[in-house]
Amino acid sequence: MRTLMNPTFCTEEQLKSLVEIINYSVENSPFYKDKLNSVDASFSIEDYKKLRFTSKEDLSAYNQKFCAVPKTKIAEYVTTSGTTGSPISLFLTKNDLQRLAKNEKDSLSMMGHNSDDLFQLLTTIDKQFMAGIAYFLGVQELNAGIIRLGPGAPKMQWEAILNYEPSVLIAVPSFIVTLIDYAKENNIDFENSSVQSIVCIGEPIRSDDLSYNILGKRITDNWNVKIFSTYASTEMGAAFSECTAQNGCHLNDDLLFLEVIKEDGNEALHGESGEIVVTTLGVEGTPLIRYKTGDIAKIYRDECSCGKQTPRLGPIIGRKNQMIKFKGTTLYPKAIFDALEEFEAISCYKVLVQKNELGNDEIIVLLEDKFKTHSELDTIKDRCREKLRVLPQFQFMEANKLRGLVYKKHMRKPEKIKFM
Ligand SMILES: [Zn+2]
């Protein structure tokens, strides 16, 4: 049994896979050829911790140099948004697609799903996104069936649910709220539908203490379904997923090596938070060694009640480059979003962060005009003060103008925050 004193989870198998991927990268990846040396069988976890980190900036600046296979071996090109907003490409071989399939099969099985399930996919499968294709392949690997509907169109989603009777939905959780609202407005008997569980991607459904957050509550208060958290990124080509115990998202230790690193450079202990750093095991196209994801989460290192000993991650608290230093406290934008999203009256908002003349961050929350005289404004302010321990400035703007600032044509997601 592992002790909590030694925080790095590393099995013998993993150490072997680390040696393999490091040597593979030194040999095949033009980026790592210059940056790392090959290692031998004496390689230890202490040696690993001395290797340089790979940053998102590296991946963005030297994108093509990360490709470790000849062009003819690339089976798929996927993209993810870079630090400057321009997309970063990831190069996947046929084996990498198989690795994705294995990852999602393992994730779906861990949640208790099997080949008898029918899945409905409510996420984009084209536009070079990874998640949709990963789940599609994973469902095939599980020998289950899939209805590949894609995002949006609540009417069509319900028609398919009533017609084919899927047991599982794979979706962005905020869209599930839309689905519930649509069913209520149109007298669809959603409570007696075939859907039993929902695999939630892209947004957290739990708070820091692993209880449901507002979004999670909005779904489970209205619909008797099981909802599962996941955490994934295109770069790592693998996902952390909840098991049936729903007590944090498990590491798939066949596919990733995980470190969670605190501000002081040390590894986070059980229950502490830090930046998620991964090495992709078994990847051929775009291997990444000690890749700093920029995502901050808590790590849980005790044995899970499901029996698995792999560490688990809590929901993403924020992004490292979005840490705000505000009136002596440190906070992440998500805490502000959470406070505002508790109010159903707020359908659109934008947070601006700017430095004042003293070099401190100032936070401005932009709301629609109607809130200037809205009866809930004081309650909103109280809630922010309570949750953030400090009160941001509130400013008001004409509704359409505000929408234009949040929903920008060239962006994949609404721009809820801007660092000025
Ligand atoms: Zn578990």
pLDDT tens figures, 364-375 = 999 999 998 888
Distance of CA 276 from the midpoint of ligand 1 (Å)? 19
Instruction: Give 147-155's long-range contacts (Cβ < 8 A, gap of 24+).
Output: 147/118, 147/119, 147/120, 147/121, 148/121, 149/120, 149/121, 149/122, 150/121, 150/122, 150/123, 150/124, 150/125, 151/122, 151/123, 151/124, 151/175, 154/178, 154/179, 154/182, 155/182, 155/186
Q: How far is the CA of 96 from the centre of ligand 1 (A)?
A: 26
* Alpha-carbon span 363 to 381, nearest angstrom: 13
pLDDT of residue 183: 97
Dist. CA 4 → ligand 1 center (Å): 17
Q: What separation in Å is there between the alpha carbon of 309 and the centre of ligand 1?
A: 8
Q: How far is the CA of 247 from the centre of ligand 1 (A)?
A: 7
User: What average pLDDT score do residues 35-46 get?
Assistant: 94
Q: What is the pLDDT averaged over residues 33-61?
A: 94
How many Å lie between the centroid of ligand 1 and the Cα of residue 355?
Answer: 43
Residue of 155, 142, 151 lying closest to 121 (CA atoms): 151
Question: Which residues 6+ apart lie within 8 Å of 147 measured at CB?
Answer: 118, 119, 120, 121, 160, 164, 166
Q: Could you check whether 12-92+234-319 and 323-419 share the same CATH topology? A: no
DSSP state, residue 9:
-
Q: List strand residue ranges (DSSP E) for 22-113, in order.
A: 76-81, 87-92
Give the distance (Å) from ligand 1 centre to CA of residue 308. 6
CA distances from 138 to 30, 98, 103, 122, 270 (A): 31, 9, 7, 15, 31
Tokens 């290692």, residue?
39
Long-range Cβ contact pairs of 11-14 (< 8 A, separation 24 or more): 11/253, 13/253, 13/254, 14/253, 14/257, 14/281
Contact residues for 419 (Cβ-Cβ < 8 A; gap 6+): 322, 353, 354
Which candidate, 374, 283, 261, 248, places its Cα nearest to that of 29? 283
CA of 84 relative to ligand 1 center, distance in Å: 37
pLDDT tier, 83 (very low <50, low <70, confident <90, very high otherwise): low
Residue 144 Cα, ligand 1 centroid: separation in angstroms?
23
At 132 the three-state DSSP class reads helix
* Ligand 1 center from residue 248 Cα (angstroms): 8
pLDDT digits (tens, 9 = 90+) for 346-368: 988 999 998 877 777 889 999 99
For residue 249, report the distance from its CA to the centre of ligand 1, in Å.
Answer: 8
Q: How far apart are alpha carbons 315 and 108 in whole angstroms?
A: 18
Q: Which helix (H) or strand (E) holds 217?
A: helix 214-220
Assign 326 a pLDDT band (cuts: 50, 70, 90).
confident
Fold classified for 323-419? GMP Synthetase; Chain A, domain 3 (3.30.300)
Percent of the chain that is helix, strand, coil (3-state, to 5): 35, 25, 45
- What is the Cα–Cα distance from 188 to 43, expressed in whole angstroms? 60
Tokens of 187: 């007298």
Q: Is 156 exposed, middle or buried (0-12, 13-18, 19+ CB in 10 A)?
A: exposed
Q: Kindly give the distance from the C-alpha atom of residue 231 to the centroid of ligand 1, in angstroms, as a whole number.
A: 15
Could you tell me the distance, in angstroms and rounded to a whole number, from the CA of residue 237 to the centre of ligand 1? 21
Residue type at position 367: L
Ligand 1 center to 110 CA (angstroms): 8
**Chain centroid to CA 259:** 16
* pLDDT class of 330 with cuts at 50, 70, 90: confident
Domain 98-228 has CATH 3.40.50.720: no
pLDDT tens profile 274-296: 999 999 999 999 999 999 999 99
Mean pLDDT lowest among 55-59, 72-76, 123-127: 123-127
CA 142 to chain centre: 23
How far, in Å, from the CA of 245 to the mean position of ligand 1?
A: 5
Ligand 1 centroid distance, CA of 279 (Å): 22
Report the top-level CATH class of 12-92+234-319.
alpha beta
**Is residue 3 pLDDT above 70, yes or no?**
no
The rounded Å distance from CA 112 to ligand 1 centre is 11
Residue 395 has pLDDT above 80, yes or no: yes
Instruction: Decide if pLDDT at 412 tops 70.
Output: no
Here the tokens at position 4 are: 């909590």
User: Position of tokens 């929903």?
Assistant: 407
Domain ranges of the chain: 12-92+234-319, 98-228, 323-419
Residue 311 CA to ligand 1 center (angstroms) comes to: 9
CA 307 – ligand 1 centroid, Å: 6
In this predicted structure, what is the pLDDT of residue 4? 47
Measure Cα distances from 314 to 194, 215, 240 in Å: 29, 16, 10
Q: What are phi and psi of 182, to 5 degrees?
A: -60, -45
Distance 296 CA to ligand 1 centre (A): 21
Query: How close is the Cα of 310 to the center of ligand 1, in Å?
Result: 8
Helices then strands, each counted (H, E), the chain: 12, 21
Both tokens of residue 188? 């669809």
Mean pLDDT of the chain: 92
pLDDT at 2 over 60: no
Model confidence band, residue 85 (pLDDT cutoffs 50, 70, 90): low
Lowest model confidence (mean pLDDT) among 132-136, 206-210, 221-225: 206-210
Query: 107: CA distance to ligand 1 center in Å?
Result: 11
pTM as predicted: 0.86
pLDDT above 70: percentage of residues in the chain: 97
Q: 244: CA distance to ligand 1 center in Å?
A: 7
pLDDT in the model for residue 253: 95
Neighbours of 361 (CB within 10 A): 17
